[in-house]
Amino acid sequence: MLMHRGLPQARAFTAKAACCSACFLLTFLPAIAFAGTYSGGSGTEAEPFRISSVPDWQELMTTPADWASHFVLTADIDLNDVPITPIGNDPNNFTGVFDGNDYVIRNADVNMPASYYVALFGCLGTDGQIKNLGVEDISIFGGYYVGGLVGCNEGTISNCYSSGSASIGACWVGGLAGTNSGTIDTCCSTGSVSGDDFVGGLVGGQNDGLISNCYSSGSVSGAGYDCGGLVGANWLGAISNSYSTGSVTGNDNLGGLVGFNSGTISNCYSSGRVSGTGNVGGVVGSNFGTISNCYSAGSVTGTGVYVGGLVGSNHSGGPITNCYSTGSVGGNYYVGGLVGRNADARFGGGPITNCYSSGSVAGNYSVGGLVGNKDSHGTCKSSFWDVNTSGWTTSAGGTAKTTAEMKTQSTFTSAGWDFIEVWDIGENQTYPFLRTYLAGDINHDGVVDFRDITHLAADWLGGVE
């Protein structure tokens, strides 16, 4: 649904709400009230309880006996000045179906700073579903498992968005969900997110879950470790066709997309600025998983060790394939245009294949145009960096090329790159770019802005810039 020569571009569902800078429109699920009263319905799939007012929502919050029923939102609801308690908790999860029906919940203020599972829906169980729901102008303040929509998700969240001032907590804090071990599809978050550890623009931490066709654009800040523009930490989960554009700041294991990764990331990108101490990367800070068909375009800065345009530190078990970075990189120890440190691959891990970097690189020790440092068996195959723009003639892996060579297709086809299904290039005009890029990103710099229009105009007039 989102892939037409482009990474996730969420479709608009109604004209009622615009989500994020890409005009992503989704809606938030309704709430339902006291046992069978609400605004009608019987709670079955055929006749769901109807939620249309604040009293309906208040009854839903206080009627756990109905949390396995079906609900449908039939009007926008403004929760301004309404005391909020989460729907669903541990062990009494919400396991029903909540269909937002393209309506919006607004002005929810949840203030439970010492509590667990803090969100509109505290715990969404394995059979639970939330769909077609928008949450706008929210403020969520909790302790652990804090999210704009759901604190802990084990079910399915689809076609939903959250926007607001902030989601704030200690650990496992996300703009949409605190944690995810279920499925999140076609969702976005635009609010700022802050916490200590496991902090993400969309999801704080994912454990064996699935995130697809999603994006986040709010700023992310963490005082500790594992913070990412989209997901703070991804353990054995899969993230695909998704992106993040917000800035990320923190301490250790920081990524423009994911802070710590031991799962699969594919067809994703990030373009926000990333700054921290150690293990700082444009897409992933610390990687133990698989990264393929991804790129980063934002600047990356670290004051400590392991800083890379795409990945800060790539460990055994972490192959990186068909990826690139274009943003500037600055750090202290082990700094690379693509990867700060590439670890030992003797046990089947960590090769870098068919990748490149083109951003400037600055550092003090073990600095390289493509890779800053590698173990004795770390591998880097058919990969390149721009010796002119990076400012470095050396690297712990890869092959140096001039800017002119980096914009020539034969440089890459001679190394075995696939320019039929994976890569494309504007001969003598652009660096290689993935065939799955953001719609409208005509100059392939990772953002859609006025420069894309000028580039198109130049092409139209026959003189490419």
Mean pLDDT, the chain cut into blocks of 10 residues (465 residues total) = 35 35 33 62 97 97 97 98 95 97 96 95 98 96 96 98 84 97 97 96 97 97 96 97 97 98 97 97 96 98 97 88 98 96 65 96 96 78 97 95 98 97 96 75 56 54 46
The C-alpha R_g of the chain, in whole angstroms, comes to 23
Spatial separation of the C-alpha atoms in residues 435 and 423, rounded to whole Å: 5
Sorted by where each begins, the domain ranges of the chain are 84-460
Q: What angle do CA 98, 152, 93 make, to 5 degrees?
A: 55
Characterize the bridge pairing of strands 311-314 and 284-287: parallel
Phi, psi of 411 (to 5 degrees): -55, -40
pLDDT at 167: 77
Stretch (H or E) spanning 59: helix 54-61
CA 133 to chain centre: 19
CATH architecture of 84-460: 3 Solenoid (2.160)
Q: 91-135: per-residue pLDDT in tens?
A: 999 999 999 999 999 999 999 998 999 999 999 999 999 999 999
Spatial separation of the C-alpha atoms in residues 463 and 198, rounded to whole Å: 48
- Burial class, 465, CB count within 10 angstroms (exposed 0-12 / middle 13-18 / buried 19+): exposed
* Measured CA distances, 175 to 116, 162, 168, 353, 437 (Å): 16, 7, 9, 33, 24
Identify which of 127, 246, 146 has the alpha carbon closest to the alpha carbon of residue 191.
246
3-state secondary structure of 450: helix
351 forms beta bridges with: none
Spatial separation of the C-alpha atoms in residues 74 and 80, rounded to whole Å: 18
Cβ count near 413 (within 10 Å): 13
Query: Residues 36, 37, 43, 47: is their CA dihedral positive or negative?
Result: positive
pLDDT at 451: 60
* Measured CA distances, 72 to 50, 60, 76, 282 (Å): 5, 12, 11, 40
Spatial separation of the C-alpha atoms in residues 152 and 66, rounded to whole Å: 19
pLDDT at 145: 97
pLDDT at 131: 98
pLDDT at 37: 84
Q: Tokens for 288, please give them.
A: 């133990």
Strands ordered across the beta sheet of 339-342: 121-124, 150-153, 177-180, 203-207, 231-235, 258-261, 284-287, 311-314, 339-342, 371-374
Residue-by-residue DSSP string for 275-290: EESEEEESSEEEE-SE
Spatial separation of the C-alpha atoms in residues 424 and 90, rounded to whole Å: 49
